[in-house]
Amino acid sequence: MKILLGVSSSIAAHRALDVASALRKTGAEVRAVLTENVPHLIGPGAFDAITHQRTVTSLWGSAHAGDMDHLAATKWADVFAIVPATANTLAVLAHGIASDALGTFAVAWAKGPLLIAPAMNPDMWRNAAVQANVSVLQTRGHEFIGPVSGSTACDDVGLGRLAAVDDIVAMILETGHRAGRPKKLSGKKILITGGPTREFADRFRCITNPSTGRQALSLAAQAVLEGAEVTLILGPTELNLPPGIKVVRRITTAQEMLSATLAELPNQDAAIFAAAVSDWRPASEFAGKLKKTDAASHLEMRLERTPDVAAACNQQRKLGQVFVGFAAETENLEGYAGEKMTRKGFSLVFANPIGEANAGFASHNNRGLLLRADGSKLEVPTASKTAIARLILEELTPMLS
């Protein structure tokens, strides 16, 4: 296995030496590429000594005449891991900035997702700009490990520490093994619904929910990486779409989602219902904008049920199509998810709690209970939505063979 190891100028950069050493002990080949400020913390000679390869710190001065390092190394490597990734490096990656060696290598990388291990002060990690860059990278299918909670070098405590070396090494090796095997979903067609719906009371006010569509987009990105042809039915979301989606249909209401899903369903091998569809809508819509000054101090509104998208699709499914569902609940995860599985014909249901920090709506992470049609279940601890998407697709794949 050939590993390209990107290193940026966090105080945790010395841990990259441990990662390189551990990878070498597994028999992997490792080449390091450093941002321009890493040598202020660790000299490139240390990486040379551990990797037995020339460390790249600049796009100038290649060791071989005519050799373009950013092309030669990215064509050589099986995996590109960035350990650690600073806030600045996350911005470079998210926006495709090729102003130094590491950024240029990342732009030239075309073999699958980057593996990114962030490390920074907890306040920096929470910064809205940093989180926006993380969202962009996750939507494109890149994989994160960490950061983890603990005491940082500046003595602050919180989420920002580099993940454990053993965990990083294990994920790099797992990514390398996946890169070397055939794509599991090649030739399969998968429909995915995602995001919220909006049900309007007047032209500008609506009933909706906090869903961002991140889990659906993670599923779509991972399915494309596994070779699937993905059709995405997506409610209102500001997240960027992953590349490689075959069909994207934008909808707003539950009725629009139902119509779009039924139209696309006949040609699909599987459907994953990850959208957070509003259960209720106003029975009638006020014309224009209902102004506060035009109404009494209290306003009563009659609601009616929206169509059940997955249940309606279950009535029209073709033989052999596999359905996967989600159940966002505040209580009785297993009971409510099991009822949905039976009523909607799901082969898998991922039940997750909502209203918790670091899980569910508007979070990069999730946790929950995966129910299978045979009655077995799997407790899923808190993990990134990318990791959960990969788990769901691993469960789905054998059902499509």
**Burial category of 25 from C-beta neighbours within 10 Å (exposed 0-12, middle 13-18, buried 19 and up):** exposed
> Using CA atoms, how far apart are residues 17 and 248, in angstroms rounded to an integer?
43
Q: What are phi and psi of 275, to 5 degrees?
A: -70, 150
d(CA 357, CA 85) in angstroms, rounded, equals 24
Cα–Cα distances (Å) from 243 to 104, 355, 362, in that order, read 20, 31, 21
Catalytic member of 153, 154, 170, 263? 154
Question: What tokens were used for 328?
Answer: 């966002």
Residue 145: closest CA among 122, 124, 123, 174: 174
Closest CA to 84 of 174, 9, 30: 9
Express the helix, strand and coil content of the chain in percent, nearest 5 each.
Answer: 35, 25, 40
Chain centroid, CA 365 distance in Å: 9
DSSP state of 202: S
Task: Verify whether residue 154 is a known catalytic residue.
Answer: yes
Phi, psi at 145, each rounded to 5°: -125, 115
| Residues forming the active site | 154
